[in-house]
């Protein structure tokens, strides 16, 4: 589905709820980066990156939260990025969108936490550099630099991140938190 189109998101969510009877967990993992110097970013590119990374998470969270509210519980995990905390040269739109996910996660955690009609937990995960389609263009030197920036000198695997997200989704008393899964030291904690 195209996460930037409300009609597609709502149709998929309705079909999942119809076929499965409920939705317990949403992982907002759609991501897009269009790298380039800030002064050369087109308005269309800026809007596309924010639409996929931030608007898509908003549309999916709204649609799924309705299902979760009927059951009185659920968990939304937003996949953000270290770029949200430190910024990344050539990725202003990506960093801005991923920082927006942090604010969205914490705002929704407060809105849907204690005293809300339904207890929907919302957290954000910063997985670190992973071997995915989004990073396949990175050179060996860039991957080595990313490894060296980690206190443990290594990158996470997709399986490690997936295991953490599954564990987090099972937690009943964790909401509004930001989990950085690699060992880069951030100046903003």
Q: Which residues are catalytic?
A: 94
Measured distance CA(19)–CA(121) in Å, rounded: 23
Residues 6+ apart with CB under 8 A from 123: 75, 76, 77, 78, 105, 109, 168, 174, 175, 176, 177, 178, 179
CA within 13 Å, CB half, 159: 0
Q: Give strand ranges (E) for the chain.
A: 25-28, 73-79, 119-126, 178-180
Please state, as a whole number, how many other Cβ atoms lie within 10 Å of the Cβ of residue 10: 17
Q: How far apart are CA 11 and CA 79, in angstroms?
A: 22
Phi first, then psi, for residue 129 (nearest 5°) are -70, 125
Sheet holding 178-180, edge to edge: 25-28, 73-79, 119-126, 178-180
């Amino acid at each position: 589905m195209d996460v930037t189109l409300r009609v597609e998101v709502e149709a998929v969510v309705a079909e999942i709820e119809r076929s499965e009877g409920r939705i317990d967990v949403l992982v907002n993992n759609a991501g897009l980066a269009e790298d380039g110097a800030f002064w050369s970013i087109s308005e269309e590119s800026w809007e596309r990156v924010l639409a996929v990374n931030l608007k898509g998470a908003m549309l999916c969270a709204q649609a799924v939260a309705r299902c979760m509210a009927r059951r009185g519980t659920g968990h939304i995990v937003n996949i953000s990025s270290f770029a949200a905390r430190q910024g990344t040269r050539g990725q202003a739109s990506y960093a801005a969108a991923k920082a927006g996910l942090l604010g969205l996660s914490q705002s929704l955690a407060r809105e849907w936490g204690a005293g809300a009609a339904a207890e929907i937990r919302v957290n954000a995960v910063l997985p670190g550099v992973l071997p995915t389609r989004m990073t396949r263009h990175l050179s060996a030197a860039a991957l080595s630099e990313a490894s060296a920036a980690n206190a443990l000198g290594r990158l996470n695997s997709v399986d490690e991140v997936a295991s953490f997200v599954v564990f987090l989704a099972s937690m009943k008393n964790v909401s509004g938190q930001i989990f950085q899964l690699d060992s880069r030291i951030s100046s903003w904690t």
